[in-house]
Every structure is written in structure tokens, then in C-alpha cells.
């Protein structure tokens, strides 16, 4: 069983995104695995910036850690400032994702 999980929220499909948010929140809250890292990527970044119900579902995650979003994508979508206002750390994530995988984190992509 994977002891470390990297949750990548990438989808623009709201229901799929909310499923990933729910899993990540509960995994952190109930310590289902040793560690969980979060990465917001791609279309999910715009969904988060635009949808208040998605913002509300992501808010509890910040109790456990600061989510990271891809700066390259958010800059291209024009949502970097909005994500930062929502308490998301915005940075280039390509190397970060690779580092997590190399450290044994199993990616779960929603």
C-alpha cells in the first residue's frame, strides 16, 4: 500500500474535482496514509478561481497544508492573483512533481 500520495487535481469537471478534494481532505484529516501532498494543475486552476462552491470545498484543505498550483498554467489562464488570494501557493510545479515521485509519492490524478 502506498504510504505517500501526491493528489493532482487537474480536471475542469466539477464533480470529479470535488471527489478528489474530498479524498485529499479526509486522507489528511484521518491520516489514511503517512503523507499527502496536493498539486492543483491545468483546468482545475480556472475552475477553482471561478467557482465559489469549489473554493468552499478547498478551504478546509488549508487547515492541513497549503496547496500548490502551477504558475505556468495559472499565468496563462490569468488566475494567478486569484489563486494566491485564496491561499494557494503558486509556483512552477514540474520539478516539484518529479521530486515527489522520486521520493516515492504515488500520484492520484483527478
Q: Mean of the per-residue pLDDT values for the chain?
A: 96
Structural domain span for residue 42: 4-109
Spatial distance between the Cα atoms of 88 and 80, rounded to a whole number of angstroms: 9
Looking at residue 19, its pLDDT comes to 97
Cβ(39)–Cβ(6) under 8 Å?
Answer: yes
Cβ(9)–Cβ(93) under 8 Å?
Answer: no
Looking at residue 1, its pLDDT comes to 55
Phi, psi values for residue 100, rounded to 5°: -60, -45
pTM across the whole model: 0.92
Element (H, E) at 52: helix 52-58
The CATH number of the domain holding residue 72 is 3.40.1260.10
Domain count for the chain = 1
Low-confidence stretches of the chain (pLDDT beneath 70): 1-2
Cβ(29)–Cβ(43) under 8 Å?
Answer: no
Amino acid at each position: 500500500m502506498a504510504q505517500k500520495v501526491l493528489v493532482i487535481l487537474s480536471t475542469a469537471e466539477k464533480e470529479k474535482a470535488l471527489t478528489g478534494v474530498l479524498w485529499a481532505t479526509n486522507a489528511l484529516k484521518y491520516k489514511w496514509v503517512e503523507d499527502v501532498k496536493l498539486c492543483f494543475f491545468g483546468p482545475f486552476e480556472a475552475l477553482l478561481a471561478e467557482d465559489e462552491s469549489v473554493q468552499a470545498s478547498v478551504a478546509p484543505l488549508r487547515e492541513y497544508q497549503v496547496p500548490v498550483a502551477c504558475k505556468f498554467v495559472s499565468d496563462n489562464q490569468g488566475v494567478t492573483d486569484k489563486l494566491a488570494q485564496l491561499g494557494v501557493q503558486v509556483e512552477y510545479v514540474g520539478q516539484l512533481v518529479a521530486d515527489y515521485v522520486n521520493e516515492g509519492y504515488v500520484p492520484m490524478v483527478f
